[in-house]
Structure 1
Amino acid sequence: MTEPYAVPVPRGYRVGGWEVREPLATGAFGSVYAARRTGDDEAASRGGADGPLPRTAALKFLPTGTGTPRQLTHLRELVEREVELLRRLRQPRLIRMYETLVVDDPGRPALDGATVLVLERAEGSLSALLAAEPRPAAGPALLAQVCEGLAQLHRAGWVHGDLKPANVLLMADGSARLADFNMAAELEGTHGYTPAFSTPDYTPPELLWAEIGERGRRIRPSADVWAFGVLAHLLLTGSFPLPGGTPSARRDAAVAYARGTEELRLAAELPDAWREIVRDCLARTHADRIGTGALLRRVTAAAGTGRAPRLPHLSRSGRRRRRTAVLAVTAAAVALLGYGLDHWHGADDEATAAYGSSELRTDRGVPVRYRRLIVDAAHGCPRPDVSPALIAAMLKAESGFDPDLADPGTHEYGIARWTPSVLRWWMRDDGVPASATPTPPLTPAVSIPAMGRYLCFIDAHVAAGLPGDRRMLDAAAYRTSYKKVNAAGGVPAAYRGYCDRVARYLAEYTP
C-alpha cells in the first residue's frame, strides 16, 4: 500500500469468518479491504436472510473503539444510520450488507473494538467511470437504475441524503447499486433528520442555508430529486447544470438561482426529454420538484426501457480491461466525518501503470504510484487547460516528485510544495476549508488532489486575453497568485524560469 491507511489492517488478518486481502480505499477515519471467506466459517454454511455468504466481500473497518469522545460519538451515529437501513431494507438497487462484526483484539489497540461492515463487493463506481468516460454511452440506463434505487428508498420511508457519483456502485454485471447510507434519514411524516455535512454540488439550495438543530438538518425526499437532476445533467453532458469552476462557486450559483437572481442554463447537448426531466428535478423550491414515482416513470421512458436495464454483462477478460478505467471499489465510498475517500488502490500494477495513458505519457518518468492521483485530480476540474500532463509537469518542477520535500525556509512541504495554512483551504473537495491547518508531512494523497482544485480555481480567475500559454499563466499563479499574474499582464519576470521548466516537462509528458 503506497499511502497510510486510517485503519491499517495487515494482509491475512482474520475477523469473523473473513480473511483480509488487498486494500481498496481509505478515508479520514475508515478503511476498506477486499476479503475472502475462510473455509472454516460456520456462519457461511448456515447462511442468512440472503442465503449463503459469498466467497468474497468488502470489509469496511471503522475504529469505533478508539478516538476522541466527540469523534466516536459522531462516527457511531453515522455507522448506526447505515447499519439500520441496510438491516431493514433488502432491495435490488441497494448495496447489500451481509453482517456486522466487532474486532476483539486487545493486542492491536488501533483495531480493538472497531466495527466492521461486511458488504457486497462492487467492480467500480460511477465516479471512476465518469473520470474515464465523461459522457458514457450507458448513461441513460444507469440513470434509470439510480432512479429505481431512489424510488425503492423513498417508498420504504428513507431519504439517501448524499446521492453523488461516488455513491453509485457498478457491479460485476454492470448493473448499478446505491451505496453509502450514513447520511440517510428515516422519514417522520414529511421530514427526516440528517447530519449537517453534505456535498455542495448535489445539495438543494434550501439545505445550503438550513438551520441545524439538535437532531441535525431537516431533509425531504425532494433533496434526492435535486441531486438526481444534477447527476443526470453531469452524466449526459459532462458538465454541472449551474455555472462555476469550483464547488463553492457552483454553490453560490445555486443559492442565487433559488433566490431568482440566476437562471438555470442547461447544456445545449442535453436531449429534449431529459431537459424537461432535469428542469423538473431542479425546480427552485422543494414543493415544485417532481415526485419520485412520476420521476421514475419518465426516466425509464427517456432511457427507452420499461424497466431499468442492466449494462452488458462483462466477461472476466472484459472486466480486467475495464479496470484500467474503472477503479476497483467497494460499497464503502463514504464521506466519513466530512471527508471523502483519500485514495483508491487499483486492481493491479499493470492497470495503474497504464492509467490515463491517452493524456499522460507512461515512458517519461512520472512515478506509477502517483498516476491515478494526478489523472483524477485533473479530471475533477472541467476546465480543459487543467490536464494530467500539466499537473505532472508542475509536480516535477515543484519537487521532482519528492513526497518528503521539506523547505522550512519558505514553509513549503510535500510533493506539491504546499504551505500548510494555504493547503487547508484546498484539501477538501466540498469547498469548505479543513477545520485545522495540516501538519507536515503532507501526503501526496492530500497534496495532489488539492493542486488540481487550486489550479481549477486559478484558471477561472486568470484574466482572459493575456499573452502566452494559459497553462503557464496558471503555473505562475500557483507560484504567486492570479492577482499578480493579472496585474503583470502575463507571467511575472521572477517566475519565467519556473514556467520554462514547467513548459519543458509539459511537452515531455504530453502524449
Structure 2
Amino acid sequence: MTAPTHAGRYRIEQLIGVGGFASVHLAHDEELRSSVAVKILADNWSRQAGVRERFLQEARLLRRADSHLLVQVFDVGELDDGRPYFVMTYADRGTLGERLTGPPLPVGEALALMGEICQAVAVLHSIGVVHRDLKPSNVLFCSRPQGGERVMVADLGIARSTDHLSGLTMPAGSPGYQAPEQLYFDGAPDARADVHGLGALTYRLLTGTVPAKPELRVPPSALRPEVPEAVDVAVMAALAPDRRSRYPDAAAYAAALASPTPLLPATPDAERPEEADEREQPGHQPPGDRPPDDGTPNGGASDGGTSGDGAPGDSAPGDRASSDRASGDDVWAGKRRRNVLVGGVAVLTAVLAAATTVGVTLAQRPGGTPSPGATATPSPTGADTGRWLRPGSDVPDRYRALIVEAGTYCSLPGLSPALIAAMLKAESGFDAALSDPANDEFGIARWTPRVLWHWQPGGLQSPMPTPPFDPRLSIQSMGRFMCRLGPRVADVPGDPAMNLAALFRSGVDPVKRAGGVPPKWRGYTAKVARYMRDYEPS
C-alpha cells in the first residue's frame, strides 16, 4: 500500500521503521510546528479486531503511564483507509541498538544509562504493566531543548497489564533478552520477566555481548574485570533462569545495581523453587549420598584417624554429595547440580537486608573491612582468643585466630568460634591436608572445589580454587557461608548451633523440612555438640 501523505493534521515526511505489525514515520505537526513520530498499523492487520485493539492498547498504556522516561502519546486517529495510528515522541537521536555497534560503554556510563532505563520500566511496573520485550532497539534517545538528551523506553506492542496476564499469555520477547518463561505459551510472564530483560541489557552494555546460556554464562567481570562485584551479583540474579530467584521488579533491580555492596533478591520462602534434584530420588542416589549401612550419618567409614579420637563411627563424613554445601542457596548454587552449574554467579558477601529481622548483623567483610552500619570485630591474634575458645583444648594454635574470625563474621544465633572449631574437628580433625577424591572433598573443612568457588572471598570473580586448599581460605569461607544462609534457618526449632551444623551438611531446605536437624545428620551434630562443650570457654 502507498505510504500516506498525512495522518490527520500530521504531514508524513519519511518512513523510519517497519515492524511485523506496524510502521513508524517521521511526521511534522503543522499546528505546533514540531516533529513527531506516527505509528500506523499495517493494512493486513487493521481488519482484524483483536490486533487492532492490541495496537490501540499500546497507545493507551503509554498515555496512562505519561512519563518522560517512556515514549509519550499525544494523539490517536484513523487514516482515510481505516488504518489506526497514534502520534508519539520523535526520538531524533536514534536507538540504543544503533549505539552498540562499537566497543562497550565505559562502566560508569553504562550503569548510569541502565539506571534511567530501570526507572522507565519501574514506571510501567508501578501501574501494573509488563513490557515483555526489552532490548536495545526499544531504548530510544531524544534531544532536550536545554541541551543533552533523555532516554525513553518504547514499543509496548506486546506489553500487558498484570490484570490480564494468565496461562493463556502468548509467547513473546526477543532472543537473548527474553526470560525463559516467555518461551512457553503458558509462561504468563510478570514483572520478573522484565527484570531478566534488564539484566540482559546490562550484560550487553557492560560486555558487548548478550548473555550465554545459563550453564555457560560467566559474570560480567569475567569479561570486563573493572565491573564492580555488586554489579556482578545484581546482573546474575536478574538473569536467574527461575524467575522466583530474580528481583521482584525493576525498582528492586535498580537498587541492587546502585548498591555499593552486593544486594541479593529477598525471595519469600513460599516463592522459592523446589528443586527436583534436591530431593532424595528413589533409585537415583549419587554414590556419595547412599544411606549409611549402620544407620549413622557416616556409615561407619573410617577416615584414617583424622577425627581426633579414633572412635568407631566418628569419622569425617564421606557420604554427602559433593555440592551439598551449596544446597541451602537455591538461587546461587543448588544442591547436587553435578553436571550443570549455574555459571557466572558472583561472590555472595552480603547478608540480605531482611536478615536483620532475625538478628543478623554483619561484623566483618573480606579483607577486614566493616560493612556499612556494622561494628567491626578486630581480628584476634593467637594470644587473645581465650575469650572465645577454651585455652588448653586441642584446637591448633595456628588456626585459632581464623576460627574466631569465622565464628564472629556476623552476629547470628548459634554461630560462635566454638561451633566452627567443633565442625572442623568433626570434618577433618583439623587436618588441612585432608584429601578425599572419591567425594571431591579436600582440606580442613572438606570443601568441594566448585562449592568453595562460590563462598571464597571474591566468589566467581576469583579462579576456582584447586586442592590443596589453604586453611585460611577454607575457614574464612565457612563464616561467609554461615552468615549468608544461616538467617534462612533462624526460625527453625531446636538448637540454633546444631541447625547451623546441619545446614553446612545438608542445606536450607532439608533443615526446614525436618524442622531441625535431619535424621541423616543427627550423628554428625551430636559429635559437633560434644566437641563444642570441649571448646567453649569455661
The TM-score with structure 1 as length reference comes to 0.45
Q: Indicate the structure whose relative CO is greater, using CA pairs within 8 Å and at least 6 residues apart.
A: 1
The TM-score with structure 2 as length reference comes to 0.43
- In our comparison, the structure showing a higher alpha carbon Rg is 2
